Amino acid sequence: MTLHLTEIGLRLLTATVLASLVGLDRERQRSSAGLRTHALVGMSSCLFMIVSAFGFADVLGTPSVGLDPSRIAAQVVTGVGFLGAGTIIAHGSLIRGLTTAASVWTVAAIGLAVGGGMYRAAIIATVLALMMLLVMRPIERRLQRRWHGKTITAVFDPKLATPEKILGTLREMNLHIGALSLERMPGGTRDRLEISLGENGETVMQNALQAVARLEGIHSTTTD
C-alpha cells in the first residue's frame, strides 16, 4: 500500500499545525523549545511514521523479506527523549523545563498519530494538551497555595540574581521551603520565582520579603 502525494502533504501539514498550537504556549513562556522546535518535532515524527508504515512497500513482496513497520517509529521515542532532556535546566534544587520536555514528547506522539492516519486521536490529544498547559496552570497554582501555605513571589534579573541566592537567603532564616515554580516572563529579561513557605506568621513573611528584596537584581517581591 502506498500513499498519494496529496495525502502525504495533508498529514505533514496537519502534524505541523497541531504541534505548532502546542508550541505557541511554550513560545509565550519563553521556553528553550518553542514554536519552531515543536513544529519540527511534530512534522518529522509524522514523516517517520509515514516512512515506517508505507516507505517499504516495494520490497514487501520479495521472498524471504519481512519487515516490522513499527521499528522506525519506535526510534522516535528514544530520539525525542534525548531532545526533551536538553530542555531541562537544573538550578540546584530547582528544576525548570519539565513541562516543556513533556510537551515535546506530546507533539512527537501527535505527529506519529497523524502519520498513521489517526486524525481524530491527534486532534483530541492536541486539545487535551492545550487544556493542560493553559487551563490547569492557574488551577495548579491555587492548589499549591492551598496545600503548601503562603507563597512569596520574586521577580528578578537572571543576570544579577539566581534562584539559589534567593533560596539561600530564606534558608538562613530557618524557613521551610515547599513547592517551587520558576518561569521566564514575557520579554525574556526577567524570571519569576514562586516559593511556598508553609504557614508562617505575618511578621515572618514580611521579614522574608524584606530580606529577598534587599538582594541585588530583585525587581519586586509579593506574598499571598
Cβ–Cβ < 8 Å for 20, 112: no
* Claim to verify: residue 102 and residue 183 sit in the same structural domain: no
* Claim to verify: residue 107 and residue 193 sit in the same structural domain: no
pTM of the model: 0.70
* Claim to verify: residue 134 and residue 197 sit in the same structural domain: no
pLDDT at 95: 64
Q: What is the pLDDT of residues 156-191, one digit of tens each?
A: 998 888 888 898 888 888 887 777 778 877 776 888
Query: Does any domain span residue 67?
Result: yes
Distance CA 192, CA 200 (A): 22
The last residue of one of the domains, among 138, 169, 193, is 138
* Claim to verify: residue 17 and residue 47 sit in the same structural domain: yes
The last residue of one of the domains, among 93, 110, 138, is 138
* Claim to verify: residue 126 and residue 169 sit in the same structural domain: no
Q: Number of folded domains in the chain? A: 2
Please check the confidence at residue 106 and state whether its pLDDT lies above 90: yes
CATH number at residue 165: 3.30.70.260
Distance CA 86, CA 75 (A): 17
Q: What is the pLDDT of residues 51-69, one digit of tens each?
A: 888 776 666 666 666 666 6
* Claim to verify: residue 105 and residue 171 sit in the same structural domain: no
* Claim to verify: residue 68 and residue 27 sit in the same structural domain: yes
- Whole domain around residue 185: which residue ranges? 149-223
Query: Does any domain span residue 144?
Result: no
Query: Does any domain span residue 177?
Result: yes
Give how far Cα 101 sits from Cα of 79, 105, 109, 137, 181, Å: 12, 6, 13, 16, 16
